[in-house]
Structure 1
Amino acid sequence: MASGLRRRSLPFRAVLWDIDGTLADSEPLHERAFVEATRALGLALPADFHAALLGRTETEAHAWLVDRCGLELSLAAWTERRLAAYFAGLEDVTPHPVAIGLWHRFEALGLPQGTVSNSDRLIVNANLARLGLDRPGLVSISRNDVRAAKPDPEPYLRGAHLLGLDPDEIAVVEDSATGLRAAQAAGMRVYMMPGFTGAGHGDWQPLAALAEVAEDG
């Protein structure tokens, strides 16, 4: 059926999705996990911490906490605490209705899809299972799978390699400026989740434009 989509002159042959804040409404849980893990250590977070860390890797978040909040734990020890807090609330992770609806729409049409995340592989696997998207052979890139994380293009370029496609044949769905920069640097067309305000962030389209493509398919 994917060949039928191509006959309709779709501008892409596959879709790569970010997970946190895109397929999964997981950002509130990420925020809560940070608060709980730091509070247990007697540390205070600034009010803007979540916005400052959106789309960042665990390594980057750890460095930020050391610099801004006086965190003294090693990266490994901090990650263990934060992941424990995240997994304790995993039942609160829910799918973003519009995004997950498009995923299932494209899946029914036979369009190849995959996920690209800056999160640890443990979080990626847990979120995919929670969303019911843990497919055999799914192309899924985590922070553990690449040398450089978003905003570097490597995660999206690896996704393209595993799909066997050129970057300009792939559409990306993102929610953060970090992810947008990575996908743009990889040479992919980008659709952004509702609520993203992207003045000065280059060429991208709203998710509604991708929804229109799904309807046309």
Structure 2
Amino acid sequence: MLKALIFDMDGTLVHSDPVHMKAFIEVLSPEGVTIDDEVYRSTIIGRTNETIFASLLPHRSVDEHVAFADEKEAAFRRLALDLNPLDGLIDLLDWAEAQGIKIALVTNAPRLNAEHMLDVLGITERFPVQITIDQVARGKPDPLPYLTALERLGVRAEEAIAFEDSPSGMKAAKGAGIYSFGVLTGLKAEEMLAVGADATLADFRDSGLWNLLKQKSAA
């Protein structure tokens, strides 16, 4: 029986990738690094800042990577002030609350970003369980963040559904044994299915999602 819904944040709760891309451009352009759609998709989406900056600035030290990451996240929070939840999200959260289904956030973003984003979207109180990169030894694609969320929620993998928009996030959710939807805010359906998505959706109004929710909640 369905007992929990677990959401990634960027690209899942909200289509925030354009703002992240703008922040990366702002920070990395002075370093001579070009960030375009292809670089964002292949090198940035779904990855940890540690991995991103090590890849884009291999000649810089680890301490410098941390400083660049902090600058980028500060730029993101400054730019991300006018965002809206993905279509259907609020209805889904309302339904889950009415059904007594638990909600959690699992993100590779730092806690400051998670707090900022949830506040901007007006849904902070909807996520009593929030797993951010600061709280785990290993981020996605490792399944540890999802395993941590399951533990804090007090549910088994087969009692949850996850929502992810990136290959690394999908690998993490599936690695934890969770039925997972690929959210198509940045990638194509075939790309998400190729990395393990059980199904895909454009937004949370998807009829296939609601049919599954009704089926699992009635089990």
The normalised TM-score by structure 2 is: 0.84
- The within-5 A match list for 1:114-133 is 114-133=104-123
Kindly indicate whether the alpha-carbon contact (under 8 Å) linking 1:102 and 1:214 is maintained by their aligned counterparts in 2. Answer: no
Structure 2 unaligned blocks of 5 or more: none
Structure 1: gaps spanning 5 or more residues: 1-9
**C-alpha distance in 2 between matches for 1:203 and 1:49:** 23
Residue 201 of structure 1 is matched in structure 2 by: 195
Contact 2:28 2:34 in 1 (8 A): yes
CA distance in 1, matches of 2:135, 2:111: 8
After superposition, residues 28-47 of structure 1 pair within 5 angstroms as: 28-39=18-29, 41-47=30-36
- Equivalent residues of 1:43, 1:71 under 8 A apart: no
Corresponding residue to 2:99 among 90, 100, 109: 109
> 1:90 offset after TM fit, Å?
1.6
Q: Choose the corresponding residue for 2:15, options 21, 25, 44.
A: 25
Deviation at 1:46, TM superposition (A): 4.7
1:61-210 correspondence runs (5 A): 61-67=52-58, 74-135=64-125, 138-194=128-184, 195-197=188-190, 198-202=192-196, 204-207=198-201, 208=206, 209-210=208-209
The Cα shift of 1:214 comes to 4.5
Per-residue CA shift, 1:87-123, capped at 9, x if unaligned? 1112133211133432232223321111100111111
Distance apart, 1:45 and its partner CA: 1.4
Kindly provide the amino acid, as one letter, of the partner of residue 172 in structure 1. A
Cα separation, partners in 2 of 1:125 and 1:189, compared to 1, 3 Å: same
CA 1:143/1:191 → structure 2, altered by over 3 Å: closer, same or farther?
same
Flag the 1:136–1:196 CA change in 2: closer, same or farther, 3 A.
closer
Whether the 8 Å CA contact 2:25–2:35 is kept in 1: the answer is: no
Cα 1:45–1:148 shift into 2, 3 Å: same
Q: Deviations over 1:33-57 (max 9, x none)?
A: 0001112x24231532210211001
Hey, what's the Cα distance between the residues in 2 that align with 1:60 and 1:185? 20
- Report the Cα distance in structure 1 between the residues aligned to 2:172 and 2:82, rounded to whole angstroms: 28
The change in CA–CA distance for 1:203 and 1:86 in structure 2 (over 3 A counts) is closer
Residue identity in the other structure for 2:164: E
Q: Which string of whole-angstrom CA distances, capped at 9 and with x for unpartnered residues, describes residues 41-82 of structure 1?
A: 242315322102110011111111213xx5567123102211
Q: Structure 2 counterpart of 1:156, which letter?
A: Y
Q: Cα distance, 1:201 vs. partner?
A: 2.3
What secondary structure is seen at the aligned counterpart in 1 of 2:170?
helix
After TM superposition, the structure 1 stretch with the greater mean CA deviation from structure 2, 56-65 or 190-199, is 190-199
